[in-house]
Amino acid sequence: MTGTMLAITLSADWEPREGARLTSNELAGHFAGDARQVWRNPHFQLGQRPLPRIDAPGDVIVKVHRAGIARSNCKMGDSDAEGYVLLPYRMRLPLIPGHEIAGEIVEKGTAVRHLQVGDPVAIQALQPCGSCRACLQGKPNQCLETGFSGFTSDGGMAQYFVTSARFVHSLLPVAERFGFDRAMDVGAVCEPAAMAYVGLFRQAGGFLPGATIAIFGCGPIGLSCVSLARCAGAAKIVAFDRTQNRLRHALALGADMAVNVRDAADQENGVSEALLEFSGGMGIDLVIEATGDAWNLFPQFEKALAIGAKVVSLGVERKPMPISLFPYQETGAWLTGTMGHIGGFEPLIALHASERMDLSTIIDARFDLANGLQALQVASRFDEAKVVLLPHAEPASIGDAQAI
């Protein structure tokens, strides 16, 4: 492929903080494991970029039909009082952001056998090295050398995207039953849903049918947890969030109760009392923290843990959190978490193809790529459950952008 395409690009100034400890590789490559230490004055731009090309026999080029906007994408463009980015991820700039990608294959390398041109696909953004200690132990989500599309290499907020076929998951089972557009919507939410799946079942080991579940945060990850918990046989599910729209989604996906955390927080011990009442005094068997607001929430729900409870952290903390160990010692509860999605795509696609769940319903706003900067602003309000870009949709006026 030759020519140019429309894309959103993120740039920033490389200005390591005084005292920042960087490796020689980070310094040489303008790359940091913690972007907050080096990248200053971030800004998004919309413009033309060269079309991607196949560089290896195992590569594929994907025509992007959906690119989800994640909370992390919004944080990539936000900065603190000194102008440094707020996102505590690894990041190499400039690049095209976007790690929630669905589209169709339009070109493939000579070594690609299991995928065909025209196939609808979802993209796994994490690209583990395969040779580090974590990878060799079968824990690719913990790979410290992983590539990450949209953070360390170009992502999907563009009309086309190139990646290795190893990181591509077919959406044919969904498309054959529900059509191409439904498959694209499912593909757009596969990444956060896969992270929820990995956290709940691969990292935490799941739960027994009949369990009582509490989910804090009803963004795409938290809402995926609601749906997965219902699929897996939870008896009772309570969801907490700050926005009524997201709470409505939680109820529609299977939560038995949805609580505005602002209302509960206004009362002393309001959250823990709500949890104990909801569980009939027995406590919560599995708690999912998917807000990044752990320093406020942990002291509250730790008072309502059931014997042998599990706590799963899926949110990215915005500041260090002190933790009290006594509730875990007393109840035998344990804490785990993940930021990875490897191992979650195939189960999520199978669940959608069999109509056991449908997370495409959480998409609240759709924007053409020409209005992508406005889409980022809308997503930054955190009112909508999911905002997606349609890179090949006809440009709409600003007022009509969400009506695509």
Q: Which domains does the chain have, with CATH numbers?
A: 4-170+358-400 (3.90.180.10), 196-337 (3.40.50.720)
Q: Encode pLDDT of 193-236 as tens digits.
A: 999 999 999 999 999 999 999 999 999 999 999 999 999 999 99
Q: Encode pLDDT of 359-382 as tens digits.
A: 999 999 999 999 999 999 999 998
Q: Provide the 3-class DSSP secondary structure of residue 232.
A: coil
CB atoms within 10 A of CB 347: 17
State residue 95's pLDDT score: 96
Task: Name which of 16-20, 111-115, 211-215, 230-234 the model is least confident about.
Answer: 16-20
State residue 283's pLDDT score: 96
Which pTM does this prediction carry?
Answer: 0.94
User: For residue 286, what are its two tokens?
Assistant: 């599995």
> How confident is residue 397, by pLDDT bands cut at 50, 70 and 90?
low
- Whether residue 403 has pLDDT greater than 60: no
3-state helix, strand, coil in the chain (%, to 5): 35, 30, 40
Q: Give one DSSP letter per residue of 342-399, joined into a string.
A: TT-HHHHHHHHHTTS--GGGGEEEEEEGGGHHHHHHHHTT--SSEEEEETTSPP--GG
State residue 222's pLDDT score: 97
Q: Encode pLDDT of 274-299 as tens digits.
A: 999 999 999 999 999 999 888 888 88
Percent of the chain surpassing pLDDT 90:
82
